[in-house]
Amino acid sequence: MRERRDPSVNHVGLSVSDLDRSTRFYVEAFGFEEKQRYELEREISEIEGIARLSIQFLQLGGTQLELLGFASPPPFQAPSTTRHQIGLTHLSFAVDNLDETVQLVIDHGGSLIEGTRAAPGAVPQVVFVADPDGTRCELLER
C-alpha cells in the first residue's frame, strides 16, 4: 500500500480579455515574474470547435498564476462582484504598504473598489481592488 500524499495547489487559472495587458498588470502591480508562455490552436475540452489561445504562466514566490488569453472563442461574462457569489471571488495578496499597493494597482490599469476598506484600527488593514478585467484582489497589509 502506497503512502497517501495530500494534494497541494499547483496554480490558479484566470481567463483575461487582453493577455499582454493582464501580464503587465500582475508583473508591475504585484511583482509576478513571467515564466512559460504557450500558443495553442486545437480542440480543448469544454470548448466547442478549435480554440486559439495564448497561455502565460506567472510566478510570485510559491504561487503560480496561469493567464488564459482566448482569441477564439472570445472570453465572455464578468468576474464575481461580491464575496458571497458562488465560485472564485478574489485573489488575496499580503502587502507591506496598503496605500502604495493600491496606487500601483491604479497606475497599472486596475481600480480601487470603493467601500471595501476595513474600518480604521482594524487588524489587518484590508481593501479590495480590481484588475483591468474586474477580477477582485484583496490586499492585506502585513
Burial of 108 (C-beta count, 10 Å sphere; 0-12/13-18/19+): middle
Residue 118: pLDDT above 70?
yes
Of 85, 86, 81, the closest CA to residue 128 belongs to: 81
What is the structure's pLDDT at 1?
67
CA distances from 8 to 4, 91, 92, 125 (A): 13, 17, 17, 28
Question: What are the structural domains, with CATH classification, of the chain?
Answer: 12-72 (3.10.180.10), 91-141 (3.10.180.10)
pTM: 0.90
Residue with cell 465572455: 76
pLDDT, tens digit, 9 for 90 and up, residues 51-67: 999 999 999 999 999 99
Q: Which three cell numbers, joined as nine digits, stand for 99?
A: 496605500
Residue 24 contacts residue 34 (beta carbons within 8 Å)? no
pLDDT, tens digit, 9 for 90 and up, residues 57-103: 999 999 999 999 999 999 888 888 888 888 889 999 999 999 999 99
